[in-house]
Amino acid sequence: MGIALARAFPNLSVIVQDNNTAMLQQAKETQDLSDLKHRIKFAKYDFFTPQPIKDAGAYLMCQIIHN
């Protein structure tokens, strides 16, 4: 979803965070992101720790399952 948002909004910078490094790596390696190279980043993040990105314009949370 982050890649689609970055492509739809050319002035948007996106940081995709996930706890699964394999998923982050797959997202980077299986798609041509050359058009987004300066506007998209991928970072490991555990939902249960404080958010390291402060003062973002928006936070979009997807596919979060908690028991």
Q: Report pLDDT for 16.
A: 93
Q: Other CB atoms closer than 10 Å to residue 14's CB: what's the count?
A: 19
Write down the pLDDT at residue 38.
92
Q: pLDDT by residue (tens digit) across 29-38?
A: 999 999 998 9
Catalytic residue IDs = 66
Q: Which domain holds residue 23?
A: 2-44
Number of folded domains in the chain? 1
Assess if residue 17 is contained within a domain.
yes
Is residue 50 one of the residues assigned to a domain? no
CA atoms within 13 A on the CB side of 49: 8
User: What beta strand segments (E) does 1-59 contain?
Assistant: 14-18, 40-44
Residue 47 has pLDDT above 90, yes or no: no
